[in-house]
Amino acid sequence: MSTHTTTETTHYHVQKRRRAQFLENWRDNHRTVVGLADATMHETARGSRVGVYVGADGDRPTRTMDALAHEIDPGVTTTVHRHSWDAMVFVVAGHGWTEIDGERVDFGPGDSLHLPSWAWHRSGNDGDTTVRCLTFSSQPMLETLGMAVLEDAGHTPFAELAPRPPYSPGIDGADPYANRLRRLAREQERRRSGRLHTDWDELELRNTPRGTRTTFLLDRAIGYQASGITMAMFEIGPGRQQSMHRHPGEAWLYVVEGSGESYLGTEPEGGKRYPWKKGDLIVVDHFLWHQHINTDPERTAKVVRIHMFDSLLETMRVLCDPLVLFEEPPTHIRDAQAGDPSTIEWPENDRPTWP
C-alpha cells in the first residue's frame, strides 16, 4: 500500500515560521542577570532541595547548558542516579562528599567536581551545616539531540547497579569500520579516566593581560575529560574591570564573592550596565560586547565562568570560518581597559563563605 505525505504549505513557509517562533521564544525567556532570590529552592524526591537559575525545569529555558542550585541538610544522603550528560559542580558552602561509581570524593567550599556521563553518583552531608553547591550541565544540548536520559536508582547499593554502557574494543584492520572501532574505544578509555575533583587549596591564580587573575577549575588543560563544558574562576581587583570582548553561545558567570556590574551591548559603547552581587548568575549571550566591573573600591570580586568552548563554540568557529567568533579590541585599547594586574595587592585566596 502506498502512502502520500503532504503539508498544507510549502517546506519554505514551514521552516520560516518554525525558525521565527524559535527565536521569539528564545528572546522571551532570555535574562541578563538571574538573582540569587530568583533560584527558588524546592524539596525533591532525592532528599535535597533544588533551585533553577537557568533551565527548562524553571522559567528560563536554555539551549546548551543549564544551571541549578542544590542544598543538602546535615545527615542526609541523596538517592543515587545517573544521566547521559556531563555535569560540573562548584561547592558554595558546607563540607560533604560525592560518590561517583563507588569512588568517594570529599569536598569543601570552593571545590569543583566533574560528574561524567553515565556515572552513578550520590552526595551526602556528614557535617553540621547545610551543603550548598551549583551544577552546570550539558543536558539541554543532549535533549536537543534526543539523547538526554536520566535514571534514578533510589538507595540501591553501588555494587548492585549496572555499569556504564559497554563499548567494543578496537580490532585489527585498515578499513573504515575497524578505524572507527579503535577510535571510539580510545575516546571512551580517555573519557572514563579523567580527573574528578579540584581542591580549592590547590588553586593558583595568575595575572592575565585582561586585567584579572584567573585559574582553571575544570578543564581538559588540567586533566578533566568532559563533553565541552569548561569552568574557570577570575578575580577582579577593587575598583578595576576586565577588558571588553565578545563571542557567540551561552557564557555564564556565577558571583562567588563581591559585587559589581556588567556592560553588555551590540557595540563597545552605548550598551547597558547590569548590577550583580554575590550569589547571582550573569548571563552573556547574543554575541554581545561585554565587560565585568568591580564597583567595590576596597574588596576584590571572584567570579566563576562557565561556557562550552571545547565543543559547541569550537565547532561553530570551524563552521563559520572565516568569520571571527571571539573578538577583543586592539591590544592598546584592551590594555587601557584592563590596567596592569601586577599593581594590585591581591588578598589571600581564602575559601568562599556563605551567605
CATH of the domain at 292: 2.60.120.10
Q: Give a yes or no: residue 123 inside a domain.
A: yes
Per-residue pLDDT tens digits of the chain, which is 355 residues long: 566 656 567 888 888 888 888 778 777 767 789 999 999 999 999 999 999 999 999 888 887 889 999 999 999 999 999 999 999 999 999 999 999 999 999 999 999 999 999 999 999 999 999 999 999 999 998 998 899 999 999 999 999 999 999 999 989 999 999 999 999 999 999 999 999 999 999 999 999 999 999 999 999 999 999 888 899 999 999 999 999 999 877 789 999 999 999 999 989 999 999 999 999 999 987 788 999 999 999 999 999 999 876 667 777 777 778 878 788 888 998 999 999 999 999 999 999 999 8
Q: Which of 191, 214, 239 marks a domain boundary?
A: 191
Q: Are 34 and 134 within 8 A, CB to CB?
A: no
Please indicate, yes or no, whether residues 55 and 137 belong to a single structural domain of this protein: yes
Q: Which of 160, 191, 222 marks a domain boundary?
A: 191
Q: Are 211 and 242 within 8 A, CB to CB?
A: yes
Q: Which of 135, 168, 191 marks a domain boundary?
A: 191
Q: d(Cα 301, Cα 212) in Å, to the nearest integer? A: 10
Q: Give a yes or no: residue 16 inside a domain.
A: no
Please indicate, yes or no, whether residues 37 and 183 belong to a single structural domain of this protein: yes
Q: Which is nearest to 131 in space by CA: 54, 72, 83, 196?
A: 72
Q: Give a yes or no: residue 320 inside a domain.
A: yes
Q: Give a yes or no: residue 48 inside a domain.
A: yes
Q: d(Cα 105, Cα 126) in Å, to the nearest integer? A: 13
C-alpha cell at 95: 563540607
Please indicate, yes or no, whether residues 62 and 186 belong to a single structural domain of this protein: yes
Q: Give a yes or no: residue 271 inside a domain.
A: yes
- Residue 108 is part of which domain span? 33-191
State how many domains the chain has: 2
> What confidence score (pLDDT) does residue 155 get?
96
Please indicate, yes or no, whether residues 249 and 145 belong to a single structural domain of this protein: no
CA distances (Å), origin 76, targets 128, 130, 151: 11, 10, 20
Please indicate, yes or no, whether residues 299 and 166 belong to a single structural domain of this protein: no
Where helices occur in the chain by DSSP H, the ranges are 11-29, 139-144, 176-191, 314-320, 331-338
Please indicate, yes or no, whether residues 158 and 257 belong to a single structural domain of this protein: no
CA distances (Å), origin 135, targets 50, 76, 132, 189, 329: 10, 19, 10, 25, 32
Please indicate, yes or no, whether residues 167 and 250 belong to a single structural domain of this protein: no
Please indicate, yes or no, whether residues 207 and 186 belong to a single structural domain of this protein: no
The pTM assigned to this predicted structure is: 0.92
Q: Give a yes or no: residue 23 inside a domain.
A: no
> What confidence score (pLDDT) does residue 73 get?
98
Please indicate, yes or no, whether residues 224 and 336 belong to a single structural domain of this protein: yes
